[in-house]
Structure 1
């Protein structure tokens, strides 16, 4: 047996023929001698001293070489196994239909379910996953993804990843649960899983015929012999392609070692993007790679997480990886090497960190209630080695998902354990706290929205950006003459502008709003009682700004104005002449606008429309509260509640409007109600769930001190900005003047889509399909729908109604939530100072007005590429914004909890009277033996995790008393409660 194994080893690790012969001969002679005299052989082995060469310590394998060695060894083993050289005792017992019987034994059925336990992979995969652990996402009508889940058809082979578990499966179908559409997958272990769209990273369509998939059924347990047979057939297909993937994977291994050097960015501090297809074509010499090759390359890039990071969300739509900067990769390798070599440099850094942390903690404790401030840190300074560790820790808290192994995890855990100053799980929030205590970050630093990599162009976007100037210049003689710093030399639509004279234009917005994009006018039609023209006047930055200007590229990259709790970043930088509506009030000058006019009949139908450049003069700036007072709808508690008290000193003195203005407001509001009722008649259904918003209450306190510019200039940051914690309800924010303005902005978007549709001009439209649920469930929701179209969000969960994600498309698809029919479409145009898509639509409209017979300024091909990029970017920006606001909310709650004196003057401490509502199915964590689920804290307006739930559970949507268990800020802000 030993000789046989020796031969096998020689086959896996081939050497020279002479040494192999010697090795075999020596072993054979030793075996024969032992057989002749076994007693003597044992005595010799016991008495013989060990050879000196085995006492020598083998040379260490370089850390970066361990991966190479492992790949080669494993690859050789797999290759040899695939050639069927393995010994007989490795084989299964020969029997008829042996493979089918083995596969049947792993498929759960009603008969064997009591003894087939969930696999270890399934338990880890469905442990409290990242989409829940952030507690930032409750599914609803505005969950923003590409909306492509329906494109994963049954019979598709998929790779799914979560919580560092990777498996293969075939899609059997989908069902609605927890307010989400989930795919039912038959995985390679024989189990049936219900997984999320974000878990699917790679697809091979039409892998299994639909007839076989239909016979498999959607049940978690195989119901009968027919389902069993179909599932076994699918498993054979899965295991067949897995073998091909394994073989291809190890053939590619030597090439994969070189990929980073082939594609790494020239700038050692820059990130770069690459697609799976680009790498695969490099391997095949430019030929179109097979799907197996693509998947093998994809797996290599995923596995090499030190060098490549998958761009999420929506990786499946883009297949884009970030290539890590060379300097950052060197930092990872250096710190990992210091850890594995047990260098004392890590211990020295930890000792120095303890001294610094003790000092900064004492400073903050004394000044916790003071305004935000900074002062230099005295004491030990960081040398070069210390700075490497700090940079490593800073980089470790960047955005990442558990679809790849975290290259920072091992060394970060070692540092934090050696430090031994913080309790709880070692995660990014603990590292963030350490960086704060070291004087590297400030208490108000927000990593969620501070990661520049999340704001970069996608690969598709880079192509779009690079071709922007070329596309528009080829379609416009005026633009051909402009350089990157040139504005329009004249107003290209000056001869088309309609002068609205002294018609009042009401610009209505919140207190403190800076980018005033739009205003309203109303015009009666004497010969048609009950019908009116509504004019939505929109700011006109494109009167000066051409699409060829340098700032357009940066605006395209940013996509939208970014509003942070502490400050904001406008879409467009200050440019003379590019201003919001009302900037020329008091000068007597007219202001340019792009006006979207639509005629509303007495039934609430839009029966005509007109889009034209315009000039407006009689601009009146109003606040929502002012108009609500004029309408008799004002209530200070209608919109916001302040569970922790409200320290804002803003006073409110209503504006005394003229009788004509009051009449106009009443007319506008009545018309808005017509439009709203018309949309409700088409089946529109809104959900209502409170949400938190954190506001700076002292804007005059100046900019918050930033993070220190370098590690050699560390600062002790003390105090905190003055904030107000507000909770709003969507229903209240869609009432009164806010509802009126929103209704007309929606109508302007509808007529813009009609304009593009009627002229066959490509435009990006926001679309949403009908909710998924039974007709009985939809009837129940409509029965409890209030007069404004709202229903409590928990009711949709109880009735298992799922809102499909919104998506973007060039075709005029409908938007069910807004009551917009198929064929009309919804194209946003009313915020060109805040949204790049609106700016793009303005250029497209003006070009069509000036050149009605010419081709569109932006071609179908270019707009399609932009739509793909925007579809990826928009949900990322929205999610970042939600996480940013949740992170600030949790910082506020954490300070309140840690400093009871903040509740002085408050009648009821909100944290002592919390309730929680269950918002999802219960999950059992078999590792720790507890149940948990997604929940919501209505008093605080934030989602949460309900931990340690009783096995019998609680009803969905029913509030029960709760107590905060833990709070975690950082990149994955989360709050856990117990009941």
Structure 2
């Protein structure tokens, strides 16, 4: 507590000095509002809905645009100004800069922006001061004085924060202890501090921009960062995680020990000095190492250093821990320059972490391990209350359904009674009231379509544990009703909603997790493995499987969807095949580069150690799923490919296209890696006795594999069918949309697509598309069906084919089943459109965070492999393609492994380089813990 008081006292002193300086300036300028009381600040009113700054309503307004007020973080310091953005044709990329106080232009990354007010310079009062600015006419700089306006707003917000500081100091205790919150947003904190929370029977008073920014300033103060941690969504959602009281207490305790030279620090250092000495001598088997025990105070210090390692590389917000690390480690005399990398090395040398520990898992705003205990309790409860659900005895259910169908005097199923109740009470038949109650009988048993022994193909990688989609096709006889040659395509999807109601405790846990997280070391599943791998997976175990089937009747050759059906189904004749073996049967004429490119991708593999000593264990056999003597199977697979290509061609006619830069994939052995203790360390661990993981890096084969392209196309078909069903039934769903480029760029880009897209493969060359990538928006989820531009889909698309690993797909299944079972059109959907708006925002941001975590984890293991090669003196020279030149080199992508990095080069060596040129470069530095890859130019090719 003493440490916190000192820190807050210093912070208050700095704020007071800043405020007094501002008051003196205002008084000297004889501003009419200048008073000695800090309450003189008149906040700017909010001219538009605050949702434009934060919240799910701002889904389409996430981009930082010219004219925005922004706070940019450089070296942990806040800089305020007006944002500028323009496209540099020579470098082939968008450039970000900000006009700051004194009209200084600061160049920075867009990711350095942590707060924004949209269109600030275009507000009437600001236009009156500096004049009008048209970024289209003058894209490089706003009018003179714009930076000063931003600085004045920031200064006024700082004074407003100071005047309410007593109330701000109540935020942590109020939200953590009284309101039981683990995450807060800027608007909800601002409403609390400024007394604008919703009162009973009334509406909350509107917030002002100054109140919002004053709140952001408080939450990002150095002192506040010990209690509040900005999430990666801080710019989009204004989110801050509350550190646990235990972490806050730990931090304050250790800092207090530092300030008072507590003897517990010396006792800890005496132990770890012995451990470091043993580690560096390679003597970790002696009694000296194994006899050391960590006390409670030792564990507190270790946790402090762990947090330093996790947060030390944060380049936007300063770590509250890093300042104290030198004071702890310098007395050891074991390290030179002490930085965040030193924290990692220290924990490795004292037996807390192995040298290959991936810190990204704990850096993420999402805890992958949360909910594990709750999941185990829920599974045990299901086993106790409804063990038959995990056994999935479908044959018994099918016999019951047949018996009920044959007895015309008997009600067909319990579901009909529930459906009748829904007519009277407008209840959705999929909804159960108790959060622990699962379906005792599947609500859709009475309407399931039995696909008999029609062959159904599930094609995946042998490493995939969750087989959640399969498909089949059947020709349609030409009749008076179907005179056009056509084929039915059936996409069969695993059916977890046959067991789980939408508000069951396991469903709510899945909603919190949103999706399975796939990291190189292991997968953190959305649903329990007892369900995903055993009960519900579409594996070939000789048992029939319940599915949701999305069927489309496709016009032969034309590829248009003529008719569709959505049905709960049963499939019996499952064939589980592997991608690589199916590729040997299919045609390669629709794959860019053909079989030669496929072979190049498959052979683009690098491992460390170079000679593997362990064999990777897969969920299924890597070979033997396809017999080349089985001509019937081969013909069936070729027919599947032809039908998929018809649908692809139909999308290409609508402007669909694709391109691939390539990306690295990491495979570790053993898999999954053993867990590393995250707390409760009682003694050091000798990780030299553990199996160091083998690392293999290869190129993603998604666009160099006919089977993967075929499967992806069938998933697109299913998504279109689901969207058609939802629109026909006015059913709220979460659509995947991609807006076309802005009108001013659209004709040129679409003209380029028509000219450059390969009509066979649908692919564009990287050289052609890279200059236009900044103008192509990413896909977003929304309750409105707006089409997907680059996929050539204008009638709607939503994901429904992976409910074992994506919550949005489960949600779609509940919605669709509710509509299928409800004869009353006024029956309330399981999820209303209104409830989906905030859900869409949560899903989007969690997907974004998980995507960043997965990408950074891949980069960690890639960096670890490259670092091992550097340490072993092995060559680290690669060929690559230039993505865009930079001031002192260029960004490059490795053609062998798909990783991207910045290459340093002399100006004369690269003055002629252009986007897409081939180069040779050498990786000369790799820091896995950052993760970071450094490289130097060798030559142009």
TM-score range, shorter chain: 0.7 to 0.9
Counterpart Cα distance in 1 of 2:695 and 2:147? 56
Counterpart Cα distance in 1 of 2:486 and 2:787? 25
Counterpart Cα distance in 2 of 1:628 and 1:800? 31
Which moves more between the two structures, 510-519 or 914-923?
Answer: 914-923
CA drift of 1:316 comes to 2.8
Secondary structure of 2:739 counterpart: coil
**Are the equivalent residues in 2 in contact too, given 1:376–1:713 (CA < 8 A)?**
no
Which residue of structure 2 lines up, in the alignment, with residue 524 of structure 1? 475
**Are the equivalent residues in 1 in contact too, given 2:81–2:151 (CA < 8 A)?**
no
Which moves more between the two structures, 840-849 or 605-614?
Answer: 605-614
Which residue of structure 2 lines up, in the alignment, with residue 322 of structure 1? 241
Selected match of 1:449 from 352, 357, 361:
361
Counterpart Cα distance in 1 of 2:18 and 2:606? 62
Selected match of 1:300 from 213, 218, 226:
218
Inter-CA distance 673–173: structure 2 relative to 1 (3 Å threshold):
same
Which residue of structure 2 lines up, in the alignment, with residue 790 of structure 1? 763
Inter-CA distance 449–782: structure 2 relative to 1 (3 Å threshold):
farther
Which residue of structure 1 lines up, in the alignment, with residue 393 of structure 2? none
**Are the equivalent residues in 2 in contact too, given 1:919–1:957 (CA < 8 A)?**
yes
Which moves more between the two structures, 790-799 or 433-442?
Answer: 790-799
Selected match of 1:664 from 629, 636, 653:
636
**Are the equivalent residues in 2 in contact too, given 1:944–1:977 (CA < 8 A)?**
yes
Selected match of 1:869 from 834, 839, 842:
842
Counterpart Cα distance in 1 of 2:692 and 2:757? 41
**Are the equivalent residues in 1 in contact too, given 2:430–2:817 (CA < 8 A)?**
no
CA drift of 1:811 comes to 0.8
Q: Does residue 1:169 correspond to 2:88, yes or no?
A: no
CA drift of 1:447 comes to 2.0
Q: Does residue 1:625 correspond to 2:580, yes or no?
A: yes
Structure scoring higher RCO (CA < 8 A, sep ≥ 6) equals 1
Q: Does residue 1:539 correspond to 2:494, yes or no?
A: yes
**Are the equivalent residues in 2 in contact too, given 1:708–1:715 (CA < 8 A)?**
no
Q: Does residue 1:562 correspond to 2:520, yes or no?
A: no
Counterpart Cα distance in 1 of 2:489 and 2:883? 41
Inter-CA distance 83–355: structure 2 relative to 1 (3 Å threshold):
closer
Which residue of structure 1 lines up, in the alignment, with residue 818 of structure 2? 847
Which residue of structure 1 lines up, in the alignment, with residue 133 of structure 2? 216
Deviations 1:214-271 (A, max 9, x none): 8435499999xxx88x433x3454354344323312212233333333333479xx98
CA drift of 1:378 comes to 1.6
Q: Does residue 1:967 correspond to 2:926, yes or no?
A: yes
TM-score, L = length of structure 1: 0.75
Counterpart Cα distance in 1 of 2:711 and 2:139? 54
Q: Does residue 1:66 correspond to 2:1, yes or no?
A: no
**Are the equivalent residues in 1 in contact too, given 2:667–2:696 (CA < 8 A)?**
yes
Q: Does residue 1:600 correspond to 2:551, yes or no?
A: no
**Are the equivalent residues in 2 in contact too, given 1:965–1:977 (CA < 8 A)?**
yes
Counterpart Cα distance in 2 of 1:494 and 1:376? 66
Selected match of 1:812 from 785, 795, 804:
785
Q: Does residue 1:579 correspond to 2:535, yes or no?
A: yes
Counterpart Cα distance in 2 of 1:695 and 1:76? 55
Q: Does residue 1:859 correspond to 2:769, yes or no?
A: no
Counterpart Cα distance in 1 of 2:220 and 2:153? 19
Secondary structure of 1:977 counterpart: strand
Counterpart Cα distance in 1 of 2:905 and 2:701? 31
Counterpart Cα distance in 1 of 2:18 and 2:586? 77
Which residue of structure 2 lines up, in the alignment, with residue 436 of structure 1? 348
Which residue of structure 1 lines up, in the alignment, with residue 47 of structure 2? none
**Are the equivalent residues in 2 in contact too, given 1:146–1:808 (CA < 8 A)?**
no
Which residue of structure 1 lines up, in the alignment, with residue 457 of structure 2? 506
Which residue of structure 2 lines up, in the alignment, with residue 940 of structure 1? 897
Which moves more between the two structures, 168-177 or 389-398?
Answer: 168-177
Which residue of structure 2 lines up, in the alignment, with residue 957 of structure 1? 916
Selected match of 2:871 from 898, 901, 912:
898
Counterpart Cα distance in 2 of 1:340 and 1:934? 45
Inter-CA distance 67–770: structure 2 relative to 1 (3 Å threshold):
same
| Bigger radius of gyration | 1
**Are the equivalent residues in 1 in contact too, given 2:803–2:810 (CA < 8 A)?**
yes
Counterpart Cα distance in 1 of 2:105 and 2:431? 59
Inter-CA distance 176–313: structure 2 relative to 1 (3 Å threshold):
farther
**Are the equivalent residues in 2 in contact too, given 1:947–1:977 (CA < 8 A)?**
yes
Counterpart Cα distance in 2 of 1:949 and 1:794? 23
Selected match of 1:282 from 183, 189, 192:
192
**Are the equivalent residues in 2 in contact too, given 1:689–1:729 (CA < 8 A)?**
no
Which moves more between the two structures, 380-389 or 668-677?
Answer: 380-389
**Are the equivalent residues in 1 in contact too, given 2:226–2:320 (CA < 8 A)?**
no
Q: Does residue 1:838 correspond to 2:809, yes or no?
A: yes
**Are the equivalent residues in 1 in contact too, given 2:430–2:443 (CA < 8 A)?**
no
Deviations 1:474-508 (A, max 9, x none): 96365665532222021211221112122111111
Deviations 1:105-158 (A, max 9, x none): xxxxxxxxxxxxxxxxxxxxxxxxxxxxxxxxxxxxxxxx98645665654433
Unaligned runs of 5+ in 1: 1-60, 95-144, 367-373, 459-471, 901-908, 924-930
Q: Does residue 1:676 correspond to 2:648, yes or no?
A: yes
**Are the equivalent residues in 1 in contact too, given 2:122–2:132 (CA < 8 A)?**
no
Q: Does residue 1:717 correspond to 2:687, yes or no?
A: yes
CA drift of 1:75 comes to 4.9
CA drift of 1:551 comes to 1.3
TM-score, L = length of structure 2: 0.78
Deviations 1:398-446 (A, max 9, x none): 357433221011112443444454567722x432232122111134432
Inter-CA distance 407–592: structure 2 relative to 1 (3 Å threshold):
same
Equivalences, count? 813
Which moves more between the two structures, 738-747 or 407-416?
Answer: 407-416
Counterpart Cα distance in 1 of 2:452 and 2:185? 55
Inter-CA distance 703–877: structure 2 relative to 1 (3 Å threshold):
closer
Selected match of 1:977 from 935, 938, 941:
935
CA drift of 1:274 comes to 1.7
Counterpart Cα distance in 1 of 2:466 and 2:700? 24
Counterpart Cα distance in 1 of 2:469 and 2:132? 56
Which residue of structure 1 lines up, in the alignment, with residue 200 of structure 2? none
Which residue of structure 2 lines up, in the alignment, with residue 358 of structure 1? 277
**Are the equivalent residues in 1 in contact too, given 2:540–2:576 (CA < 8 A)?**
no
Inter-CA distance 241–175: structure 2 relative to 1 (3 Å threshold):
same
Counterpart Cα distance in 1 of 2:834 and 2:66? 30
Inter-CA distance 417–176: structure 2 relative to 1 (3 Å threshold):
farther
Which residue of structure 1 lines up, in the alignment, with residue 376 of structure 2? none
Inter-CA distance 868–221: structure 2 relative to 1 (3 Å threshold):
closer
Counterpart Cα distance in 1 of 2:634 and 2:865? 41
Q: Does residue 1:738 correspond to 2:708, yes or no?
A: yes
Which residue of structure 1 lines up, in the alignment, with residue 569 of structure 2? 614
**Are the equivalent residues in 1 in contact too, given 2:85–2:139 (CA < 8 A)?**
no
How do 1:149-298 and structure 2 match up within 5 A? 149=61, 155-171=67-83, 175=87, 185-193=98-106, 196-209=109-122, 212=127, 215-218=132-135, 230-232=143-145, 234-235=146-147, 237-265=149-177, 272-286=182-196, 288=205, 289-298=207-216
Counterpart Cα distance in 1 of 2:560 and 2:881? 40
Selected match of 2:322 from 391, 401, 409:
409
CA drift of 1:522 comes to 0.7
Counterpart Cα distance in 2 of 1:387 and 1:804? 47
Deviations 1:25-49 (A, max 9, x none): xxxxxxxxxxxxxxxxxxxxxxxxx
Counterpart Cα distance in 2 of 1:162 and 1:538? 48
**Are the equivalent residues in 1 in contact too, given 2:85–2:96 (CA < 8 A)?**
yes
Counterpart Cα distance in 1 of 2:709 and 2:462? 17
Counterpart Cα distance in 1 of 2:153 and 2:304? 39
Which residue of structure 2 lines up, in the alignment, with residue 31 of structure 1? none
Deviations 1:650-703 (A, max 9, x none): 87344246433322212211121222222223333322223222213555xx85
Inter-CA distance 695–335: structure 2 relative to 1 (3 Å threshold):
same
Inter-CA distance 335–150: structure 2 relative to 1 (3 Å threshold):
closer
